[in-house]
């Protein structure tokens, strides 16, 4: 029994050794060392042999062993279990012994010179250090990754921004260039890096065309101050140019030492192109491409300053096209625009290269000849007039001729300001039109024609002032029926008078020509119509119609006004005056020059009940041809025939023929300028219907005429 106990204790001890060795090998990593597994295997075999010894004492357990109590079992117990285990154990120690020396050296390294050293403690301490070291390594790797990512982000940013970026060392040698800088310079990265930046970045001054200075050297020489070049032009070898803004700044290391420079290239080509385009549009006419009025005035003002300082002689042309309105009215504005474009090219072709041709507005052009005497300028002006006159404009099968009225003004020491010079040129141009158009007129201050023109301009101011001061008045002259027995006029022609600033009465012929010249007649006619109808309305009283019939003169300008007909109709509605008591009088010339408008005007108002008279009939050459197209009620025989009809047989015959034609067409005739009883008798013999003149009655204020008519009406039995 004691043998069994001893064998069991031995087996337990061996088993404990096997387990301890296994755990020690796993904990300290000994299992990976040569020989350690062999030693563990040897102890395992001895443990197995011990277990077999125990089974010899327990038959019940021995049954489970297939070999049983046989010589083979004894062989296994002694040879494999003990002898094999000892042999394997010895082999393992032989393999492991070299590592023992290594372990001793490791212990010495771990413990250094310490008297007492616990290898596990020291190993644990080293393991802690190893953990911290691994943590620091991971942190360093993370920092390196972040740094790499930041570098990649910066590189992507530099390659993605819209500006060109070039970096150099302190000697100006390129070490980096981004794609935008490659495009601007025309150098690829592979060919640019390593070169001096001045060999890659070829910059010139936009104003002078000279090469810009070494910006990198300038920047580094100023203790790293930033340098700018705002007006640089970057040129390619193929001739392509870019407008760029260049900024140069120093690059520093972590210690603040300058290690190079960075150049930033901002492309301004598109911006400068837009600026140039806007500048061109601001100074040029979009239709013709010529200089516009604003830019022309700026150039002229500069030239005037030169002339007044004694710097050369200069000449200004003011050109107004003749018959241009005919092209516009006949073919439309597209044709007019095309004509202006062609004439602009023609004018530019026949002036000097240094001269300036401008479109001043509409069909008006200006030409500025700098450093040119008057004689030479007149030769150029005549050439321009001639080429315009010989030019033929063809549009949709129609051919037009135009002319040029040219006003010429010398610009010298005694020239006035800009406004005065332009006014003189405008005046000279108008004078050339007055003298027959398609001619040249040189401005001189004492020129009789110029003085007359200035007089007309003064009248324009006086007319405008008279409107503001309400110094316009209506007069009425009677028109007598030559067949009436009572001899009392019932028709009156409305006439206008201006009251001067000193109370004097100014007749129409003094200011009407100026009003016609400067297109003031529509304004005057509106005032006459509105005021006449207003006074007629006041004179109506309780009756249905005014006490007299009135004839209102209308100008050709009013007939050509698109809105004048609408205005007249509106005034009739507002005044509530019956249209039958109003007759509108238009001249033969005005009717013919605005035939289609005149016919429409007459037809509309005739339909409302108004009457119409054709004034100055017989003075034109086309009177009878146009008469049948105009639905008028009266013919006013031109006074130039009536005045001398009793002494001049030709005038008498003209009055007679016009009267007969009028009666054949069913019209009433009115003879103007009946200044004597002899003329009245002659008119009655010819059976003229009405007469008007001083022998019948002089003009009186309309208010007085209406007051007398109202009084006479009230005194009649029916009143």
Do both 204 and 55 map to the same domain? no
The reply to whether 303 and 370 lie within a common domain is yes
Q: What does DSSP say about strands 549-554 and 491-499: parallel, antiparallel, or unpaired?
A: parallel
Return the pLDDT at 160.
Answer: 57
Q: What is the pLDDT of residue 669?
A: 94
Number of domains in the chain: 5
Give ∠ CA 16-17-20 in degrees, rounded to 5. 85
User: pLDDT tens-digit profile of 431-473?
Assistant: 888 777 888 988 887 666 555 555 566 677 788 888 888 889 9
Q: Poorest-confidence range of 121-135, 175-189, 431-445?
A: 121-135
Structure tokens at 584: 């509108």
Q: Where does a domain end: 376, 410, 445?
A: 445
For the four alpha carbons of 116, 121, 126 and 129, in that order, the dihedral sign comes to negative
User: Which of 445, 464, 487 delimits the end of a domain?
Assistant: 445
Q: What is the pLDDT of residue 224?
A: 60
- Determine whether 277 is exposed, middle or buried from the number of CB atoms within 10 Å of its CB (0-12, 13-18, 19+): exposed
Question: What are the C-alpha distances in Å from 390 to residues 182, 198, 349, 401, 483?
Answer: 58, 59, 15, 8, 58
Give domain status of residue 462, yes or no.
no
Q: What percent of the chain has pLDDT over 70?
A: 78
- Is there a domain that residue 591 lies in? yes
Do the domain assignments include residue 77?
yes
Which position has the higher pLDDT, 381 or 266?
A: 381
Q: Does residue 250 sit in the same domain as residue 370? A: no
In a domain, 592, yes or no: yes
Do 376 and 491 lie in a common domain?
Answer: no
Q: Single out the residue in 274, 296, 318 at which a domain terminates.
A: 274
Q: What DSSP assignment string belongs to 103-122?
A: HHHHHHHHHTT-SS--HHHH
The arithmetic mean of pLDDT across residues 147-164, rounded, is 66
Band of the pLDDT at 530, cuts 50, 70, 90? Answer: very high
Which residue's structure tokens are 């001049």?
A: 648
Same domain, 494 and 610: yes
Are β-strands 634-637 and 398-401 bridged in parallel, bridged antiparallel, or unpaired? unpaired
d(CA 363, CA 318): 11
Question: Among 75-79, 208-212, 268-272, 666-670, where is mean pLDDT lowest?
Answer: 75-79
Distance CA 512, CA 656 (A): 31
Token pair in block for residue 25: 């090998």
Answer whether residue 103 shows pLDDT above 70: no
CATH code of residue 597:
3.20.20.450
**Pair (154, 168) in one structural domain:** no
In b/e form, how buried is each residue of 546-572, taking b as 16+ CB within 10 angstroms? bbbbbbbbbbbbbbbbeebbeebeebb
Confidence of residue 534 (pLDDT cuts 50, 70, 90): very high
pLDDT for the residue numbered 19: 78
DSSP 479: E
Note whether residue 542 is domain-resident: yes
**Residue 131 pLDDT:** 78
Residue 264 has pLDDT above 80, yes or no: yes
Give residue 553's pLDDT.
93
Range scoring the smallest mean pLDDT among 155-169, 460-474, 702-716: 155-169
With 90 as the cut, is the pLDDT of residue 382 above it? yes
244 and 371 inside one domain? no
Residues 6+ apart with CB under 8 A from 506: 497, 498, 499, 500
* 686 has a pLDDT exceeding 50: yes
pLDDT score of 719: 47
Cα-flanking dihedrals φ and ψ of residue 687, to 5°? Answer: 65, 35
Q: What is the pLDDT of residue 2?
A: 64
Write out pLDDT tens, residues 539-589: 886 667 888 999 999 988 888 888 899 999 999 999 889 999 999 998 877
pTM: 0.48
Average pLDDT over residues 674-702: 92
- Examine residue 452 and state whether it is found in any structural domain, yes or no: no
Give the chain's end-to-end CA distance (angstroms, integer): 177
pLDDT tens digits, residue range 628-665? 777 889 999 888 889 889 999 998 999 999 899 889 88
Compute the distance between CA of residue 685 and CA of residue 425 in angstroms, rounded to an integer. 56
Q: Select the more confidently predicted residue: 266 or 580.
A: 580
Helix (H, G, I), strand (E, B) or coil at 520: coil
Higher pLDDT, 102 or 508: 508
For residue range 7-45, list pLDDT tens digits in order.
Answer: 677 777 777 877 777 777 666 666 666 666 777 777 777
Q: Are residues 95 and 60 part of one domain?
A: yes
The answer for residues whose C-beta is within 8 angstroms of residue 108's C-beta and 6 or more apart is none
- Find out whether 555 and 591 touch, Cβ atoms under 8 Å: no
91 pLDDT band (50/70/90 cuts)? Answer: confident
- Of the candidates 451, 460, 385, which has an alpha carbon nearest to the alpha carbon of residue 424? 451
Q: What is the pLDDT of residue 384?
A: 94
Query: 533: pLDDT confidence band, cut at 50, 70 and 90?
Result: very high
Residue 357's alpha-carbon distances to 290, 299, 307, 453, in angstroms, are 6, 11, 19, 26
Residue 123 within a domain: no
Domain contains 321: yes
Alpha-carbon span 521 to 512, nearest angstrom = 8
Mean model confidence pLDDT for the chain: 80
Higher local confidence (pLDDT), 76 or 415: 415
Res 622 pLDDT > 50: no
Across the chain, how many H-helices and E-strands are there? 28, 23
* For residue 85, pLDDT beyond 50: yes
> Is residue 675 located within the same domain as residue 636?
yes
Task: List the domain range (segments joined by +) for residue 184.
Answer: 161-274
Co-location of 326 and 187 in the same domain: no
Q: Judge if 424 and 493 occupy the same domain.
A: no
Query: What band does 269 get if pLDDT is binned at 50, 70 and 90?
Result: confident
Q: What does the pLDDT read at residue 583?
A: 96
Q: How far apart are CA 538 and CA 544, in angstroms?
A: 12
CA distances from 79 to 68, 88, 232 (A): 16, 12, 102
pLDDT digits (tens, 9 = 90+) for 289-339: 899 999 999 999 999 999 988 888 999 999 999 888 888 877 888 888 999
CA distance 425 to 429: 6
Tokens of 559: 């007939």
Are residues 677 and 528 part of one domain?
Answer: yes
Separation of alpha carbons 429 and 450, rounded Å: 10
Q: Is 230 a residue whose pLDDT tops 50?
A: yes
DSSP one-letter code for 210:
P
The token pair that represents 204 in the structure block: 């010139």
- Mention every residue, 6+ apart, whose C-beta is less than 8 A from residue 383: 350
């Amino acid at each position: 029994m004691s043998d069994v106990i001893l064998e069991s204790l031995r087996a337990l001890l061996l088993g404990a050794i096997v387990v301890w060795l296994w755990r020690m090998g796993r904990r300290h990593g000994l299992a990976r060392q040569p020989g350690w597994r062999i030693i563990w295997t040897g102890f395992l075999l001895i443990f197995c042999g011990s277990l077999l010894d125990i089974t010899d004492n327990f038959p019940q357990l021995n049954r489970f062993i297939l070999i049983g109590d046989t010589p083979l079992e004894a062989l296994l117990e002694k040879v494999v279990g003990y002898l094999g285990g000892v042999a394997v154990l010895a082999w393992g120690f032989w393999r492991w012994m070299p590592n023992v020396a290594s372990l001793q050296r490791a212990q010495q390294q771990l413990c250094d010179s310490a008297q007492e050293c616990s290898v596990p403690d020291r190993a644990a301490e080293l393991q802690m250090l190893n953990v911290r070291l691994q943590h620091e390594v991971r942190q360093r790797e993370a920092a390196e990754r972040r740094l790499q990512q930041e570098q990649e982000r910066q590189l992507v940013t530099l390659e993605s921004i819209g500006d060109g970026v070039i970096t150099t060392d302190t000697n100006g040698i390129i070490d980096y260039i981004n794609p935008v800088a490659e495009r601007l310079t025309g150098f690829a990265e592979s060919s640019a890096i390593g070169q001096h930046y001045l060999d890659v970045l070829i910059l010139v001054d936009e104003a002078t065309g000279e090469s810009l200075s070494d910006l990198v050297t300038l920047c580094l020489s100023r203790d790293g101050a930033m340098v700018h070049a705002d007006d640089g032009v970057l040129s390619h070898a193929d001739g392509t140019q870019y407008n760029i803004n260049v900024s140069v700044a120093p690059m520093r290391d972590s210690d603040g030492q300058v290690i190079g420079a960075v150049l930033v290239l901002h492309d301004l080509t598109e911006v400068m192109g837009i600026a140039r385009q806007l500048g061109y549009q601001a100074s040029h006419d979009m239709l013709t491409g010529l200089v516009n009025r604003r830019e022309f005035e700026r150039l002229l003002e500069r030239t005037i300053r030169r002339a007044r300082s004694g710097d050369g002689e200069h000449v200004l042309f003011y050109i107004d096209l003749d018959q241009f309105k005919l092209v516009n009215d006949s073919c439309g504005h597209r044709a007019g625009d095309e004509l202006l474009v062609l004439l602009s090219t023609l004018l530019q072709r026949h002036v000097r290269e240094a001269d300036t041709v401008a479109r001043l507005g509409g069909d008006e052009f200006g030409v500025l000849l700098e450093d040119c005497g008057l004689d030479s300028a007149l030769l150029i002006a005549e050439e321009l007039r001639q080429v315009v006159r010989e030019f033929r404009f063809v549009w949709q099968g129609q051919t037009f001729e135009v002319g040029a009225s040219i006003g010429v003004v010398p610009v010298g020491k005694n020239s006035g300001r800009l406004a005065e010079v332009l006014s003189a040129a405008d005046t000279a141009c108008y004078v050339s039109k007055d003298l027959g158009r398609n001619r040249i007129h040189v401005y001189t201050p004492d020129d009789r024609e110029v003085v007359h023109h200035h007089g007309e301009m003064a009248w324009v101011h006086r007319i405008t002032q008279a409107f503001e001061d309400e110094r316009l008045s209506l007069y009425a002259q009677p028109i007598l029926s030559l067949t009436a027995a009572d001899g009392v006029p019932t028709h009156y022609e409305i006439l206008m008078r201006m009251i001067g600033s000193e109370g004097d009465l100014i007749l129409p012929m003094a200011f009407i020509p100026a009003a016609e010249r400067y297109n003031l007649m529509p304004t005057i006619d509106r005032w006459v119509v509105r005021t006449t109808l207003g006074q007629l309305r006041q004179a109506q009283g309780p009756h249905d119609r005014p006490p007299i019939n009135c004839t209102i003169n209308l100008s050709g300008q009013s007939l050509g006004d698109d809105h004048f007909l609408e205005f007249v109709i509106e005034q009739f509605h507002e005044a509530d005056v019956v249209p039958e008591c109003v007759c509108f009088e238009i001249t033969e010339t005005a009717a013919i020059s605005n035939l289609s408008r005149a016919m429409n005007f007459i037809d509309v108002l005739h339909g409302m009940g108004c009457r119409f008279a054709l004034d100055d009939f017989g003075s034109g050459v086309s009177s009878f041809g146009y008469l049948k197209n105009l639905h008028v009620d009266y013919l006013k025989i031109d006074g130039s025939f009536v005045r001398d009809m009793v002494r001049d047989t030709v005038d008498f015959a003209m009055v007679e023929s016009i009267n007969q034609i009028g009666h054949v067409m069913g019209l009433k005739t009115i003879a103007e300028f009946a200044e004597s009883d002899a003329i009245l008798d002659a008119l009655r013999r010819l059976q003229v219907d009405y007469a008007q003149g001083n022998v019948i009655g002089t003009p009186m204020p309309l208010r007085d005429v209406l007051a007398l008519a109202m009084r006479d009406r009230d005194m009649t039995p029916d009143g």
